[in-house]
Amino acid sequence: MKKILFIINRKAGTDREKRLEHAISKHLPADRYEVSTAFLAYLGHGADLAREAVQNGVDIVVAVGGDGSINEISQGLIGSNTAMAILPLGSGNGLARALKIPLNIDKALQLIVNNKQRAIDVGYANEHLFLSNAGVGFDALIAEQFRHNTKRGLSGYAKLVLKSFNTYDPAEYNIDIDGSSFQAKAFLLTVANGNQFGYEFKLAPKASVFDGQLDLCIMPPVGILSLLPVSIFSLMGNIDNTRYIKHYTGKDITIRSNALQYLQVDGDAVPLTENGVVRIRIQSQAINVVVNE
């Protein structure tokens, strides 16, 4: 009998809880699955619950929530035999979209029944885990502001972008990728593991969580009139063919700048531990995930 633990972030929508309970009992009947449920109660709780699940021999931990909760839960599963499944109930759902996991609860649960697993790569930025992306440019500033924002979702994010755009001063960065060094002035300086930034935005459309590589995306300074084409090309998935993005791949990336102030991993702001330096590395095939193929 398969042991499955659902770890639920209630912030991702309490109204769906009853429907979720019903869907779980329909797809994962008690005669075939030993299902238990836990709710996130504090920052870091997801990682603690996931570690505990590994020790208890749980087969699959299901992360129910958005990219933030999925990131936290995956921290406790790295390098273990316990797989992670995703019920995407966040707003951006970057990793779920990258893995083509349905946003529909019933369809996502059906993947758990099918139980097709693949090991995905993860990244670390100054040892902060990321599954989708990490950044130090304008996206990191917005992540820091978003942390204090009561209005979540795409509209809250868009308002912050428009408010901060004209006052943002793109920095000059020294970048080292696998031993090759260069300098670049950048509005966005983002390292992608997967191809999705949430809401179907793709800065690195060809990035893959299975390829053992990180994709470095550099957007040179742009004017406000570029925001619309940048958004359209990102949504269409062909921005890497335009002048708006310079694209590199590698496994070890070091970014240095005196102007470095912010760092985001999977859309969440994290503190800079070392002044002016962010070191980013990949760990290949670090976690087994229930996938849609």
Model-level pTM? 0.93
What are residue 250's DSSP bridge partners? 214
156-204 per-position pLDDT tens digit: 778 888 788 888 999 999 999 999 999 999 999 999 999 988 888 899 9
147-166 per-position pLDDT tens digit: 776 666 677 778 888 788 88
Report residue 79's pLDDT band, with 50, 70 and 90 as the boundaries: very high
d(CA 63, CA 88): 8
